[in-house]
Amino acid sequence: AQKITQTQPGMFVQEKEAVTLDCTYDTSDPSYGLFWYKQPSSGEMIFLIYQGSYDQQNATEGRYSLNFQKARKSANLVISASQLGDSAMYFCAMEYGNKLVFGAGTILRVKS
């Protein structure tokens, strides 16, 4: 079965600096998709970035990029130039059949 592991319960980053949120996954499927979502205190899950297992390049979406290391089964999210509004919970997820399997999440706090 698919499993997502996020080992950092909480992270701090100074405003304007970059931060990496870790995610490792376990699957026996050769084809899979990995997602990152942001959940601010308002509760809504906001889609950030997607990486397909056969994608040749690491995904990027504005200030978000995904450091995808397939052999290590890791899909770390990199946020560049952190902003105060980036303070939120971040979830890594993987598709499994008709559903998403989520990690436990990482709380990110951006300091001014």
Partner 1 sequence: GAGVSQSPSNKVTEKGKDVELRCDPISGHTALYWYRQSLGQGLEFLIYFQGNSAPDKSGLPSDRFSAERTGGSVSTLTIQRTQQEDSAVYLCASSISPGTKRNIQYFGAGTRLSVL
CA 58 – CA 14 distance, rounded (Å): 25
Nearest to partner 1 of 93, 110 (CB atom): 93
The nearest distance, CB 1 to partner 1, in angstroms, is 12
Whether the Cβ atoms of residue 95 and residue 33 lie closer than 8 Å to each other: yes
Whole-angstrom CA distances from 29 to 17, 21, 89, 102, 107 are: 36, 24, 28, 17, 29
What is the maximum span of the chain, computed from C-alpha positions, in angstroms? 42
The nearest distance, CB 13 to partner 1, in angstroms, is 23
CA 82 – CA 67 distance, rounded (Å): 17
CA 21 – CA 55 distance, rounded (Å): 20
Residue 52 engages partner 1 in binding (rule: CB under 8 A): yes
Count interface residues toward partner 1 (CB under 8 A).
23
Residue 50 engages partner 1 in binding (rule: CB under 8 A): yes
| Stretch of 7-15, 19-27, 36-44, 61-69 lying at the interface with partner 1 (CB under 8 A) | 36-44
| Stretch of 18-26, 37-45, 66-74, 78-86 lying at the interface with partner 1 (CB under 8 A) | 37-45
* Footprint on this chain of partner 1 (rule: CB under 8 A): 33, 35, 37, 42-47, 50, 52, 91, 93, 95, 97-105
